[in-house]
Amino acid sequence: MKVSLFITCLVDQLFPEVGMSVVSVLRGLGAEVDFPADQTCCGQPAFNSGFSSEARDLAKRFIAIFENSEYVVAPSGSCTSMVRVFYPELFRDDPDWHKRAESLASRTYEFTEFVVNVLGVEDVGAAYHGKVALHQSCHLLRELNVRTEPQRLLRSVKGIELVELERAEACCGFGGLFSIKYPHISGSILQDKLDSVEKSGAAVVVASDVGCLMHIAGGLSRQAAAATTMHIAELLAKK
């Protein structure tokens, strides 16, 4: 099984340890992992801002880099959604590129759904002692329909104490550029999530998307809260 790692720009440049964890977990499950070094960004920021033409250019570049891969796996629900859900839409009026986009989309997965649904594994042999709560990122949940896979992986972690996060499915308020365009609203929505975290007693908040995590971490840190954040791949790589 050959997996090409779609690292995503935020993981590449801000949270490289997440990428290392993904590689470690996938290799531990017997997959061969390669990293197409020419990759940059999937184009989602341009797409979400309405700049479809720029998004299309980046999409074409991305497709050309990854289209010969057997599987493409990303540690991000939102970046995976961009490729799987929105690339085909971007090329709605271009039959050739649409076909190429659909072909790539069919082989592109978010990390937790890949492990559970493609590799068929729920216990990756991880061990972590601590109170952990899961925040369910919106794109993963509502664009990709990945509803239970992260929990199933977490439940198998030896020593973990999984605590319920109230309103775990509620948006954290990140929303990409929304977080800086409307910071007052973004921060206000975040407060509810921070209150849920505090109420849950979790020491660590885990999610599939570093966008959500850096936004939540940013709030926890500013408010000097005790809880910290971790990408689910990092937790699953712990032994």
Partner 1 sequence: MLLTLMHVNSESFIQDSTVAVQNKTLQTRLRVLTGFTTKRNLLFAELPDGEALRDRAREIKEETIGNLDSYLTQLEENVVRLGGTVHWARTGKEARAIVLELARRNNVKRVVKAKSMVTEEIELNEALEQAGIEAVETDLGEYIVQLAHEKPSHILAPAVHKSKRDISELFADKLGVANLKEAEEMTVVARKRLREKFLTADMGITGANFGVAETGTIVLVENEGNIRLSTSLPRIHVALMGIEKLVPSLDDLAVFLKILARSASGQKMSSYVSLITGARRAGEADGADEFHLIILDNGRSRILADEEMRESLYCLRCGACLNVCPVYQKIGGHAYGSVYSGPIGSIITPAFAGLEKSKDLPFASTLCGACREICPVRIDIPRILLKLRSDWAEGKHDNAGPPLLEKVAIKLWAFAMRHRIIYNLVFRVPAFLQGPLLEDGKLKRLPFALGGWTQNRDFPALARRSFRSMWGDEK
Q: Which residues bind partner 1 (CB under 8 A)?
A: 7, 9, 11-16, 19-20, 35, 37-41, 43, 45-52, 54, 57-58, 61, 138-139, 141-143, 170-171, 173-176, 178-190, 192, 214-215, 217-219, 221-222
Query: Would you list the DSSP string of 43-111?
Result: SHHHHHTT-HHHHHHHHHHHHHHHTT-SEEEES-HHHHHIIIIIHHHHTTT-HHHHHHHHHHHTTEEEH
Nearer CB in complex with partner 1: 130/218: 218
Instruction: Using the minimum distance from each CB to partner 1, give the nearer residue, 122 or 192.
Output: 192
**Residue 71 Cβ vs partner 1, minimum distance, rounded to whole Å:** 18
CB of 184 to partner 1, least distance (A): 5
**Distance of alpha carbon 191 from alpha carbon 131, whole angstroms:** 21
Nearest distance from C-beta of residue 41 to partner 1, angstroms: 4
Residue 73: how many CA atoms within 13 Å on its side-chain side?
A: 30
Comparison of 29 and 214: residue with beta carbon closer to partner 1: 214
The first and second tokens of residue 66, run together, are 């990854």
- Considering the complex, state which of residue 51 and residue 125 has its C-beta at the smaller distance from partner 1: 51
Nearer to partner 1, 160 or 206 (CB): 206
At CA 51, angle to CA 45 and CA 53, rounded to 5?
115
DSSP H or E run through 34: strand 32-34
Q: Name the minimum Å distance from CB 173 to partner 1.
A: 6
At residue 160, what are phi and psi to the nearest 5 degrees?
-75, 145
Min dist. Cβ of residue 7 to partner 1 (A)? 5
